[in-house]
Structure 1
Amino acid sequence: MNKTELQPKFTLAITPVILTLLVIGLQIFYFGVFEPHIPLAIGLAITSLVGIRLGLKWTDIEEGIFHVIHVALPSVSVLITVGMIIGVWIASGTVPSIIYFGLKILSPEYFLVASMIICAFVSISLGTSWGTVGTVGLALMGIGAGFEIPMYWTAGAVVSGSFFGDKVSPLSDTTNLAPAVTGTDVFSHIKNMIPTTIPAMLIALVIYLIAGFQLVGTETVSFDKIEAITTALDANFTISGWLLVPALLVMVLALKKYPPIPSLFAGVVVGAIVAMVAQGASLESVFQYANNGYSIETGVAQIDGLLNRGGIQSMMWTISLILIALGFGGALERTGCLRAIINAIQSKVQTFGGTQAAAIGTSFATNLVAGDPYLSIALPGRMFSPLYRGLRYSTLNLSRGIEEGGTLMSPLIPWNAGGAFVITALGLQIGEGHMENLLYIPLAFACWLAPCIGVFYAATGLFSPKATRKEMRRWKKDDEEIAAGYPPISESETRMPDPRNHSNSG
């Protein structure tokens, strides 16, 4: 049996997906425990049984599982490096200095707006949403706590800005992946995303501005609390603008297009040096901070709760969740379940508006069930391309749609790689007594507004370019090469770009 052509019936293909989502819902909403690891492992087992029912051997399924995990290992490497950065940059005073200056300079009413803009700028510069969330985003959470803003509001603004910047940065891996799998170029792809990105950001800015005045009017802000936080920071750390050097170094290296993991690790090394020189930390303690995270008791609960974090070990919960989710996605792909579900969706759409909505929805659904933002871009991107060709619409529409359903929706799914990282890096406790922190999902306005605007454009025909003569000639050439015996690029080859050339994790 040719494994790559396995095509289960839709009812059988959708069964492991539905059962897995039901078990996840039971775990999170009935038991009140946010630990999707076991439900996803059960889903992997159910999918494997479906594969065996279809005639696959366990070794075939295992190969599919570990293939998807293998291609996403660069993202795991980023997680490990970001864990080190968080611990070391807190010890160096970099994060405390950002918090200190932020509380002194930023106005509480405009804090949410400023948070989104700052994260967007940093993410565009770095080309990585995860790196932005884990560094600048963490510091902004501390500033928000000082202003007594609910942490889910701050997290929503941080996620909106970070993933917006990632979406339009030519340094981002997903921004390069989407046009690669649809046959367009990266700068045309970025230009075509502007009509949905700008309105989504402007609407989000207005909402954050209104919310800022509602949440932190001057009559509700405790300036005594802000003073207590800044005094405690000043008493426990050397605070200086020079301590921002590690963060600036990483941004400079990213702008010069150095590989992401070495650039981030350079930030770890410089941060360690700064911690020893400026804060008097020993080499042994720096190693401890990088591995197990920073620990301090200042007597101010907000500071202790924020700064006692980081380190490689703090990322293990997220990494284990990502590996299991990726394994589940790999099993769904190898058994043909994902392909069967997408084909069923394709067969129901006849118009361009329906096709665009289906592409966005399929990317989101792949994110939802497979837990992998790369798979959510690559698989729909390859499978929907022929529909756009048949309708004579540019595949720029497709690349925009899968970016919106893939990149932007990833952080809004708690068991997805993006969502799991956001929850861990920002310290969003989820579970009994803390379920309100999941409100960051609807409050990340820019992330879900962009695909909604994209669906509206498709229905009305606005900002929906048709195929140019040049594009149609390229399609014809591709078809001729395939007919001559040159195979098209495989999904496995296009799932993720070379991690040596682009930033990882969005």
Structure 2
Amino acid sequence: DSIQNTFHVTPLLFIVPIVVIVMIVRKAKPLTALFVGTILAGVFAVIFQPEILMKVAGSDTMNFSSAYKGVMNAMTNSVYIPSGNEILDENKLFSAGGMEGMLSTIWLILCAMFFGGIMQEIGALQKISDTLLSVAKSTFGLFASTTATCIFFNGTASDQYLAIVVPGKMYQKAFQDKGLAPENLSRTLEDSGTVTSILFPWNTGGAYQSKTLGVATGEYVWFAFFNLISPIMTLIFAYFNIKIRKLVTKKSEV
């Protein structure tokens, strides 16, 4: 009852996420899908939640100015909507941080990008890759080096994307020289770069998860079984040569 008394609940509100999902399925550009979803959400808020917008805007009347201010405040600032229910209000269920709530994560992403760019430009990444490749003599060694590099970058570069892109560039030629198909490198990057980012509290992935869940990284890390086991399974598969595809070269026609 508290939700229905506070908001105008109708199945028509599902139109917004459905439109976004359809655009994603049809492989629309991410910025386009986000922009359309944001605009539609603002329009639907004006149509179905005018009272809420007036509260957010701090206005007693609904007009263009209050509607615009309410939508922009909801998108950019921290918003809290009291419902009159003691339990819901105590847990601040109807609250959102907007873009303001994500600024700490954005700063971390920017710092990680700057750090990674500097490391690449001064040649530090190339030096690291050359050292690791000199040790990776076997196929298993190559997989192990790639896995270790991804985890290393998640812990030092503090950004998931750098932990995927940089090792991918570093080991692309090495996988080709070993006669290994590109999907082996791609799978290793995902298994060790993508999933381990949330295990580091200073990484953008860990910071986002901790901020979203409201749980410290050190508390949930021991329950992230998939993230902990995934790199190990990659090494096991590489050691026993399971699902390791070879590079197929097309013979030139005579």
TM range, normalised to the smaller chain? Answer: 0.7 to 0.9
1:454 corresponds, among 198, 210, 234, to 234
- Correspondence list, 1:366-405, <5 A: 366-405=153-192
How many angstroms apart in 2 are the aligned matches of 1:454 and 1:384? 16
Q: In the alignment, is the contact (CA less than 8 A) between 1:397 and 1:464 conserved in 2?
A: yes
> Which residue type is aligned with residue 296 of structure 1?
I
What RMSD in Å do the two structures reach over aligned CA positions? Answer: 2.3
- Residue of structure 2 in register with 1:445 after alignment: 225
- Residue of structure 2 in register with 1:481 after alignment: none
Q: In the alignment, is the contact (CA less than 8 A) between 2:192 and 2:230 conserved in 1?
A: no
How many angstroms apart in 2 are the aligned matches of 1:264 and 1:441? 30
- Residue of structure 2 in register with 1:272 after alignment: 42
Change (3 A) 1:445 1:392: same
Change (3 A) 1:300 1:358: farther
- Residue of structure 1 in register with 2:74 after alignment: 289
Structure 2 residue runs of 5 or longer lacking an equivalent are 55-66
- Residue of structure 1 in register with 2:209 after alignment: 422
Cα deviation, residue 429, structure 1: 5.2
> Which residue type is aligned with residue 453 of structure 1?
M
How many angstroms apart in 1 are the aligned matches of 2:78 and 2:35? 16
Q: In the alignment, is the contact (CA less than 8 A) between 2:192 and 2:231 conserved in 1?
A: yes
Listed one character per residue, the Cα deviations across residues 320-367 of structure 1 (whole Å, up to 9, x for unaligned) are 121122222222222222322222222112211121121122112112
How many angstroms apart in 2 are the aligned matches of 1:469 and 1:259? 33
- Correspondence list, 1:469-480, <5 A: 469-470=249-250
Listed one character per residue, the Cα deviations across residues 280-310 of structure 1 (whole Å, up to 9, x for unaligned) are 2341222211110321123444554343223
Structure 1 residue runs of 5 or longer lacking an equivalent are 1-230, 431-436, 475-506
> Which residue type is aligned with residue 77 of structure 2?
N
The 3-state SS of whatever aligns with 1:238 is coil
Cα deviation, residue 427, structure 1: 4.5
How many angstroms apart in 1 are the aligned matches of 2:176 and 2:26? 37
Structure 1 moving runs of 4+ over 4 Å: 301-304
How many angstroms apart in 1 are the aligned matches of 2:153 and 2:95? 35
- Correspondence list, 1:80-479, <5 A: 231-280=1-50, 281-282=53-54, 283=67, 284-298=69-83, 299-302=85-88, 304-424=91-211, 426-428=212-214, 430=216, 438-470=218-250
Q: In the alignment, is the contact (CA less than 8 A) between 1:247 and 1:267 conserved in 2?
A: yes
Change (3 A) 1:325 1:238: same
Cα deviation, residue 390, structure 1: 3.2
How many angstroms apart in 2 are the aligned matches of 1:438 and 1:234? 38
How many angstroms apart in 1 are the aligned matches of 2:237 and 2:123? 32
Bigger share in helix = 1
- TM superposition score normalised by structure 2: 0.82
- TM superposition score normalised by structure 1: 0.43
How many angstroms apart in 2 are the aligned matches of 1:449 and 1:234? 43
How many angstroms apart in 2 are the aligned matches of 1:316 and 1:246? 25
How many angstroms apart in 1 are the aligned matches of 2:35 and 2:192? 30
The 3-state SS of whatever aligns with 2:242 is coil
Listed one character per residue, the Cα deviations across residues 121-156 of structure 1 (whole Å, up to 9, x for unaligned) are xxxxxxxxxxxxxxxxxxxxxxxxxxxxxxxxxxxx
Q: In the alignment, is the contact (CA less than 8 A) between 1:367 and 1:416 conserved in 2?
A: yes
**Sequence identity (%):** 28
Q: In the alignment, is the contact (CA less than 8 A) between 1:372 and 1:417 conserved in 2?
A: yes
Q: In the alignment, is the contact (CA less than 8 A) between 2:82 and 2:94 conserved in 1?
A: no
Compare relative contact order (CA 8 Å, sep 6+) and give the higher one, 1 or 2. Answer: 1
Change (3 A) 1:467 1:313: same
How many angstroms apart in 2 are the aligned matches of 1:448 and 1:242? 41
Q: In the alignment, is the contact (CA less than 8 A) between 2:115 and 2:157 conserved in 1?
A: yes
- Correspondence list, 1:50-69, <5 A: none
Q: In the alignment, is the contact (CA less than 8 A) between 1:238 and 1:278 conserved in 2?
A: yes
> Which residue type is aligned with residue 241 of structure 1?
P
Change (3 A) 1:246 1:411: farther
